[in-house]
Amino acid sequence: MLKKIAMAGPAAALMLGAAGAKSVEDPNLWLEEVESEKALDWVKAKNAETLGALEADPRFQPMYEEAKAILNSTARVPDGEIHAGFVYNFWQDADHVRGLWRRAAVKSYRTGSPKWETVIDYDKLATDEERNWVSGSRVCLSPAYVRCMVELSDGGKDAGYWREFNTDTKSFVDGGFTLDEGKSNFAWIDEDTLLVGADLGEGSLTSSGYPKAVRVWKRGASINEAPTLAEGAESDVAVFPATDHDESGAHVFAIRAVDFFGREFHYALNGEGAPAKLPLPQKSDLFGVLDGRAIFLIREDWTYRDVAYPSGVLIAYDLKSGEAEIAFAPNANQAIDDNSVSIGKTDMIVRYLDDVSGKAARLKRNKKTGEWAFTPIDLPANGVVKIISAGGGTDDAILSYESMTTPNALYYVTAKNKTSKIMEAPAFYDATGVVVEQRFATSKDGTKVPYYIMAKDSVLKAGNAPTVQYGYGGFLNPILPVYYEDPSRPQHGALAGKMWVARGGVLVLSNIRGGSEYGPDWHAAALKENRQKSFDDFIAISEDLIATGVTSPEKLGAIGRSNGGLLMGAILTQRPELYAAIDCGVPLFDMKRYNKLLAGASWMAEYGNPDIPEEWAYISQYSPYQNLKKGVDYPKVLFYTSTKDDRVHPGHARKAVARMTELGHAPYYYENIEGGHGGTANQDQLAHRTALEYAYFAHMLMGEE
């Protein structure tokens, strides 16, 4: 199926912009020199201070052991992707810290006790090659799924090295396709032809640091000689390839990302001839091709051939006739996001949100009438539904269900929509007496903003409890009440349940504007000059928690990372009196310079361009670095980042700490030397950082033990 570019991905190397771009007014610019001896000495000193304080808390070590037990548990549910009769899974545990890429036959997997065979052992590979390899992306040729391009990341960076791999022989291909470190993108046309976007030296990258062109790379040829299929402008975010295969051949797309959300789609069957630009709106997501129709989610209103199509609907576009039709139209309380559709052999599965509660259905087109049949898939209600795998040459699928108190369960759904539970994870914490409620706060402009609250019932009834409120609010990312999804995210129910809720704490998930909980309009409402609405929503939830007696300013903490780190910086500088603790991870912080650092230029469609005076006028109102002031009683913040983060520059967090220190404050600061934008490179490092975070909250909100 389609390979999607990680559009928030970083540049491979620091881009400081034009000469003279550095402001002489900022005494902390030296901290942007990531690997300089002076900067690293500063980092080591700060790390020693923070680790010395937080690891000394008597709750840290038990929390660390709890986190390791969950993250390395062999009882976790092994989700996977269906391809060519196998279910492929990536697995990490205490014995496989870097991870295994493995597979089991579908028949074996459906028993609930799959017999795995290792495809790649990343720990062994790293040892054999004496490299700090971290697993990256894998792009394989469908439907056989034998030829793959495998990415190896040095220490967890987004930039990676690529090598061709054969899943039949379970080995790298001698003399196969290889590409040195970079932010490359691949798609297969056939076993001897790749589409590739790569860093080929001067002039080959956009100002955001991504490939500017898609080339057709034939086996045995030099990539420098590969002809260009499509090329964009330097001001674009990227140009990247995608393919989908059916009986017609290879459906080839060259996708020009003119900004973070705007895309032009150029199509050529089998990559033959110049790709033709499709008349789709720029704010669209492509999921694949079904029966000659490209399936798109449109994120803006679109009028085409005198028919009006509203934002947020699923479109089927006939690649031959150019006709368009609606395959699914969510109602006002429903939303589809960019990971919500998977194309099968003859139909597709869509996952959608209904007031942030997950549901799924099968969509199938009647070839005679042109109507789309909508058949719900039978899954538990009031939780999170995910499409783990669908397609791979079949209409069968694997879906999952979970909630903050219900462990993940995997369901096998046949082509006839028969659903059976394959396996489920054990409980990683005792949820007896734990309740999850959805509530709504009223934001500054009157908008009703939902949030989830998770705590022991007795704790909620007693009131004034230590509370951690999580938020993100950007880039169309919905915050869902999961049990075990991406464990590096704070909404991870199992870790929070064991390390925080079990100790009498309250966890809150904020569904603020900027995400996609209610579709594209929920995101658009907080773009650029309206960014403050996202911050207002978060603050409104904080105030609601206090007004309803859940907590108090003395016991309220906040947590966010990446764009959520920017959110933390905004609430820190705007409403510091509301919070006793703020955990600010891998943050954007200096919004005057964000577009000059790493991949920052690719996010100007979200925030605006600080080099344009009219746009800096509104960005400057919330940019945390410029709004820190003397004489303000800020809470003691925990900042963390990674030296290897090549997405959000570690200089943001470093300079935030330096500026706060200059103003007389003493924030905690931790910088992992490895880990990329995730902040960690393996499960043990993630367990350590998570324990630091909750030990910090326990110390700040629960007091001495």
- Catalytic one among 492, 523, 652, 677? 677
Please say if the pLDDT value at position 14 is more than 70.
Answer: no
Spatial separation of the C-alpha atoms in residues 177 and 218, rounded to whole Å: 9
**Token pair listed for 208:** 């955001």
Task: Report helix, strand or coil for 244.
Answer: strand
Contacts of 345 (CB under 8 A, 6+ apart): 391, 393, 394, 395, 415
Q: Three-class SS of residue 474?
A: coil
665 touches 658 (CB < 8 A): no
DSSP category for residue 458: H
Nearest Cα residue to 34 out of 655, 563, 692, 693:
655
Asked if residue 392 has pLDDT above 80, the reply is no
| Residue 315 near residue 29 (C-beta atoms within 8 A) | no
Q: Where are the domains of the chain?
A: 39-64+437-449+458-472+480-642+651-702, 281-425
Q: How far is CA 478 from CA 5, 213, 337, 473, in A?
A: 18, 31, 8, 8
pLDDT digits (tens, 9 = 90+) for 509-545: 999 999 999 999 999 999 999 999 999 999 999 999 9
The continuous run of DSSP H or E covering 242 comes out as: strand 238-246
What's the confidence (pLDDT) of residue 486?
A: 62
Which DSSP string corresponds to 277-320? EP---SSEEEEEEETTEEEEEE-S-EEETTEEE-TT-EEEEETT
Compute CA distances 231 → 36, 228, 237, 274, 601, whole Å: 36, 7, 12, 11, 19
Higher local confidence (pLDDT), 306 or 80: 306
- Report CA 542 to chain centroid distance, whole Å: 25
CA-closest candidate to residue 161, choices 188, 132, 182, 192: 182
* Per-residue model confidence (pLDDT) at position 674: 60
Domain boundaries 39-64+437-449+458-472+480-642+651-702, corresponding CATH code? 3.40.50.1820
Q: What gap in Å lies between CA 378 and CA 420, rounded to an integer?
A: 9
- Closest alpha carbon to 256 in 247, 269, 265: 265
Q: The tokens of 346 are what?
A: 């003859």
The answer to whether the beta carbons of residues 294 and 319 sit under 8 Å apart is yes
pLDDT of residue 276: 97
* Cβ-contact 145, 125 below 8 angstroms: no
Mean pLDDT lowest for which of 1-15, 71-85, 296-310, 402-416? 1-15
CA dihedral over 335, 311, 3, 125, signed as positive or negative? negative
Beta bridge partners of 249: 246
Residue 484: which pLDDT band, with cuts at 50, 70 and 90? confident
pLDDT value, residue 487: 56
**pLDDT for 337-389, tens place per residue?**
777 899 999 999 999 999 999 999 999 999 999 999 999 999 999 999 999 88
For residue 428, the model assigns a pLDDT of 94
Q: Among residues 488, 454, 659, 661, which one has the least CA distance to residue 560? A: 488
**Span 650-664, average pLDDT:** 97
Nearest-angstrom CA–CA distance, 481 and 357: 9
H or E segment at 61?
helix 60-71
Q: Tally DSSP H helices, then E strands, for the chain.
A: 14, 40
Q: Is 284 marked active-site?
A: no
Sign of the dihedral through C-alpha 284, 286, 290, 292: positive
CATH superfamily, domain at 281-425: Prolyl oligopeptidase, N-terminal domain (2.130.10.120)
Residues 6+ apart with CB under 8 A from 617: none
Q: What is the SS3 string spanning 439-502? A: EEEECCCCCEEEEEEEEEHHHHHHCCCCEEEECCCCCCCCCCCCCCCCCCCCCCHHHHHHHCHH
Query: Where residue 680 falls among pLDDT bands split at 50, 70, 90?
Result: low
Full-model pTM: 0.84
Residue 191 is which amino acid?
E
| 248 vs 126, more confident | 126
d(CA 634, CA 579): 9
CA distances for 165 relative to 96, 146, 152, 403, 455, angstroms: 20, 8, 12, 37, 47
Helix (H) or strand (E) holding 140, with range, is strand 133-140
Backbone angles phi, psi at 667, to 5 degrees: -70, 155
Q: Is 534 designated active site?
A: no
pLDDT in tens, 431-470: 999 999 999 999 999 999 999 999 999 999 999 999 999 9
CA Rg value for the chain: 24
Res 16: pLDDT: 26
Sign of CA dihedral 446, 448, 453, 458: positive
How would residue 485 be classed by pLDDT, with cut points 50, 70 and 90? Answer: low
Q: Are 679 and 561 in contact (CB under 8 A)?
A: yes
pLDDT of residue 94: 86
pLDDT at 123 over 80: yes
In this predicted structure, the answer to whether residue 104 has a pLDDT above a threshold of 50 is yes
Residue (of 428, 551, 403) closest to 497 by Cα position: 428
Question: Residue 528 has what pLDDT?
Answer: 98
Token output for 615: 């746009």
Residue holding tokens 């590979």?
Answer: 125
pLDDT digits (tens, 9 = 90+) for 187-237: 999 999 999 999 999 999 999 899 999 999 999 999 999 999 999 999 999
- pLDDT for residue 527: 97
pLDDT recorded at residue 488: 56
Residue with tokens 């500063």: 42
* pLDDT for 75: 87
Pairing mode of beta strands 160-166, 147-154: antiparallel
Structure-block tokens of residue 131: 């490299």
Q: What is the pLDDT of residues 544-587, one digit of tens each?
A: 999 999 999 999 999 999 999 999 999 999 999 999 999 999 99
Locate 219 and state its tokens. Answer: 């086996």
Question: What is the per-residue pLDDT across 591-632, written as a single tens digit (0 to 9) for each?
Answer: 999 999 988 999 999 999 999 999 999 999 999 999 999 999
User: Do 39-64+437-449+458-472+480-642+651-702 and 281-425 come out as alike in CATH topology?
Assistant: no
In tens, the pLDDT along 140-199 reads 999 999 999 999 999 888 889 999 999 999 999 999 999 999 999 999 999 999 999 999
Of 406, 617, 425, whose CA–CA distance to 528 is shortest?
617
Give me the residues paired with residue 318 across strands: 293
Res 424 pLDDT > 60: yes
Question: Side-chain half-sphere of 377: how many Cα atoms within 13 Å?
Answer: 33
Q: Pairing state of beta strands 556-561 and 581-585?
A: parallel
Contacts 24+ apart (CB under 8 A), 52-56: 53/668, 54/668, 54/692, 54/695, 54/696, 54/699, 55/692, 55/695
- The first and second tokens of residue 689, run together, are 């950082």
Among 400, 562, 623, 642, the one annotated catalytic: 562
Share of the chain above pLDDT 90, in %: 86
- Binned at pLDDT 50, 70 and 90, residue 491 comes out as low
| Length, in residues, of the chain | 705
Percentage above 70 pLDDT, the chain: 94
* Predicted local distance difference test score (pLDDT) of residue 3: 32
The CA distance from 519 to 536, in Å, is 19
* Rounded Cα gap, residues 397 and 378, in angstroms: 13
Q: Which tokens sit at 164?
A: 């061709």
In contact, 260 and 606? CB cutoff 8 Å: yes
Q: Per-residue pLDDT tens for 19-67?
A: 233 444 899 999 999 999 999 999 999 999 999 999 999 999 999 999 9
Can you tell me the distance from the alpha carbon of 86 to that of 235, in angstroms, rounded to the nearest whole number?
42
Nearest to 647 by CA among 11, 77, 17, 50: 11
**d(Cα 436, Cα 382) in Å, to the nearest integer?**
10
Cα distance between residue 2 and residue 579, in whole Å: 43
pLDDT of the residue at 694 = 97
In the prediction, which pLDDT does 73 show?
87
Residue 490: per-residue pLDDT: 59
Amino acid, res. 274: A
